[in-house]
Structure 1
Amino acid sequence: MGSKDTETSPDLILKGHAEILQHMFSFADSMALKSAVELHIADIIHSHNSPITLTQIASAISSTSPDITYLGRIMRFLVRRNIFTVHPPSDGAGETRYGLSYKSRWILHGTQKTLVPLLLMENHPQAMAPWHCFSQCVKEGGVAFEKAHGVEIWEFASRNPEFNKLFNDGMACTAAIHIESILQGYKDGFGSIGSLVDVGGGTGEMIGQIVKSHPHIKGINFDLPHVVSTAPVHHGVSHVGGDMFQAIPNADAIIMKWVLHDWGDEDCVKILKNCRKSVPPKTGKVIIIDLVLRPDRDDTLNDLGFAFDLLMMAHSSGGKERTELEWKQILEGGGFPKFKVITLPSTMSIIEAYHD
């Protein structure tokens, strides 16, 4: 039978129906996960150092009377997603117990490596609203976040302290997660740097860890004034408020993590040109920590990159994830034609770029 017959076979049509339904309800994954985070379920199990029953989880959630039926249905779903493990009673009596999996350790609160702040930020109703504006953006153009909230994300954050904290905490937790692989993957690159500016450094977690690991570096955390105003003290790091589109503090090198993907090509070139003015000729460099899309590869990490590209549509003004060729184009436009890509064991890569 030809391919046309195969594509319209009853079995394939039903398979397509089921898969479309699966995509339609994929939000159930993030909402169930968010509820587990808000209820501190992973922390409750972790505190017992072994799998525990629904009754034990429920009693720790609230001093009132939580609905154990709702809890059980959420846990059943998350077990199917391998967020938690399930341990039926060996003798057929007693209660089923629930434990942590390799995934659920990432939703513990207050640990050094946690995705909790990012998960709560990305799944907040204010952060989700722009996703509903994609079709409107296709028809009319414009910025999804602005269509949802009337202003772009940076202005929205400056006007809303609660969202600003949510956003900053989310970005800070990504720095904590990636810093080890950055320090390991670029350990030789930091040795020759005397001063380093973290452009868009948020509250300074990444530059703080870099300086801690390389005490000879004078660190400067550079971000918008309302961001650095809430930044804690990091030894060896000074906080500077400003606008990267206007001017960037001078240093031997500049580092940017998850910054350029927030902006369109024209804006990225402007930022890179300001970077070029701020670092010395010949030896000056920009260290970009960001995604490099590889359309020819089919794996989980690369596939995640294309989801992040849609996230940029939702939250940024013209931002996007880029292929190596697209990185080459904006780097050349900004005056950094020489570069190399260092792959990290995560979604991120290091792009080291030099003056011409």
Structure 2
Amino acid sequence: MERIELDEAMLQGQADIWRYMYSFADAMALKSAVELRIADIIHSNGGATTLSQIASCINGGLTSPDITTLARIMRLLIRRKIFTVHHPSDGGDLLYDLTHSSRWLLHDSEQTLAPIVLMNNHTWQMAPWHYFSQCVKEGGIAFKKAYGCELWDLASRNPDLNKLFNDGMACTAKVVTNAILSSYKQGLSSIGSLVDVGGGTGGLISEIVKTYPHMKGINFDLPHVVSMAPTYNGVSHIGGDMFHAIPNADAVIMKWILHDWTDEECIKILRNCKKAIPRENGKVIIVEIILKEDGSGVFDDIGFVMDLVMFAHTNGKERTEAEWKKILEGGGFSHHKIINIPALVSIIEAYPDAQ
């Protein structure tokens, strides 16, 4: 019996290695579904759609897609529960439909992850992952080893990459903003002015100001980023560098900013945040992942994947609460509280030390 159990365990171990080795296939199939707008086609058709109907809508019907290849991609995505398939009782063609997962791939939905699927699986984002072992041996930044410069420098020189990055960040801002606005009302309602540090094209701050029109909103990011930002009522766009100075406001909000940087760099940013807010009643609102090593929540596993994404694309990392506490104290914020929201991220509300 022991030998049989050992053989089964070894066989499962082998199967796991095969699965992880080819896990990139899931991401590539997902990316192709977004590029082909399969979810949008099914949605616009009102639901259950045959493969030939999907194929006829690809590329606006101007070309004849390879329906066999499409079927093979869909077969994997159905197995991964991204889409579902029905077998008609009359023996007709299979009918493909959306699931709760594929509804997040609709391009025109207010809550979509389609742009960040395209961003994270673009070829320029993939190259740094091949330098992990070299970084272990020699140290250094994976992205820089791949391209000779850091992500922000490459994006600033390449408008197409800059747009891809901004679109990806904007769609996550909408998803996270929805969770913030529904679960953090008490934390926002009393703020008179709020600066979004690293706010990209202003998606987050514009929605906050729309909900709280008494608030003065400031969207603060690098000049080449805010140059692409649309006009929003109640929001001013300011270009600058958070490592030098941050515009003054009653409070600072940062969504997915500090995880891009080392502890030392985070402390420098936080010290600039402290200078920008009042000594009394000022606060910094940090929207980030909090790693839980034994966590079993719906997003806890993704946090550890995101930590390696940070390693691949920046010089930053995801952090545990103890690690957040350390950099907050270093930046002059000895008190904080964590507010859980229905999202991949949590809110860390930090208060400046008295002078």
Corresponding residue number in structure 1 for 2:267: 269
Higher mean C-alpha deviation, range 27-36 or range 179-188: 179-188
Q: Kindly, what percent of the aligned residue pairs are identical?
A: 64
**Per-residue CA distance 1:82-113 (angstroms, 9 max, x = gap):** 11110112122x21111111111110112111
CA distance in 2, matches of 1:23, 1:232: 41
CA distance in 2, matches of 1:299, 1:29: 22
**Per-residue CA distance 1:23-49 (angstroms, 9 max, x = gap):** 001011110011111111111111110
Which of 334, 339, 343 is equivalent to 2:340?
Answer: 343
Corresponding residue number in structure 2 for 1:22: 19
Which of 205, 208, 222 is equivalent to 1:207?
Answer: 205
Structure 2 length as normaliser, TM-score?
0.97
Corresponding residue number in structure 2 for 1:115: 113
Corresponding residue number in structure 2 for 1:64: 63
Task: Read off the aligned partner of 1:354 and give its amino acid letter.
Answer: Y
Q: Which runs of 4+ in 1 moved over 4 A?
A: none
Which of 215, 233, 236 is equivalent to 2:234?
Answer: 236
CA distance in 2, matches of 1:245, 1:61: 46
**Per-residue CA distance 1:3-42 (angstroms, 9 max, x = gap):** xx788x2221111111100000101111001111111111
CA distance in 2, matches of 1:44, 1:298: 35
Q: Given the superposition, is the C-alpha separation of residues 308 and 6 from structure 1 closer, same or farther in structure 2, using an over 3 Å criterion?
A: farther
Residue 333 of structure 1 and its aligned partner are, at CA, apart by 0.3
Q: Does 1:313 align with 2:311?
A: yes
Task: Read off the aligned partner of 2:147 and give its amino acid letter.
Answer: H
CA distance in 2, matches of 1:78, 1:193: 45
Corresponding residue number in structure 2 for 1:90: 89
CA distance in 2, matches of 1:11, 1:263: 44
CA distance in 2, matches of 1:50, 1:249: 48
Corresponding residue number in structure 1 for 2:329: 332
Corresponding residue SS for 1:339: strand
Which of 144, 148, 151 is equivalent to 1:150?
Answer: 148
Corresponding residue SS for 2:47: coil
Residue 296 of structure 1 and its aligned partner are, at CA, apart by 2.1
CA-based RMSD: 1.3
- Consecutive unaligned residues in structure 2, runs of 5 or more: none
Task: Read off the aligned partner of 2:99 and give its amino acid letter.
Answer: S
Corresponding residue SS for 2:338: strand
Corresponding residue SS for 1:189: helix
- Consecutive unaligned residues in structure 1, runs of 5 or more: none
Corresponding residue SS for 1:188: helix
CA distance in 2, matches of 1:91, 1:217: 59
Corresponding residue SS for 2:19: helix
Task: Read off the aligned partner of 2:335 and give its amino acid letter.
Answer: K
**Per-residue CA distance 1:205-262 (angstroms, 9 max, x = gap):** 1000000000111000000000000000111000000000000001110000000010
Corresponding residue number in structure 2 for 1:11: 8
Task: Read off the aligned partner of 2:227 and give its amino acid letter.
Answer: S
Residue 268 of structure 1 and its aligned partner are, at CA, apart by 0.3
CA distance in 2, matches of 1:109, 1:283: 40
Q: Where do 1:278-317 residues align within 5 Å?
A: 278-317=276-315
Task: Read off the aligned partner of 2:270 and give its amino acid letter.
Answer: L
Higher mean C-alpha deviation, range 223-232 or range 102-111: 102-111
Which of 162, 173, 176 is equivalent to 1:175?
Answer: 173
Residue 300 of structure 1 and its aligned partner are, at CA, apart by 3.5
Corresponding residue number in structure 1 for 2:243: 245
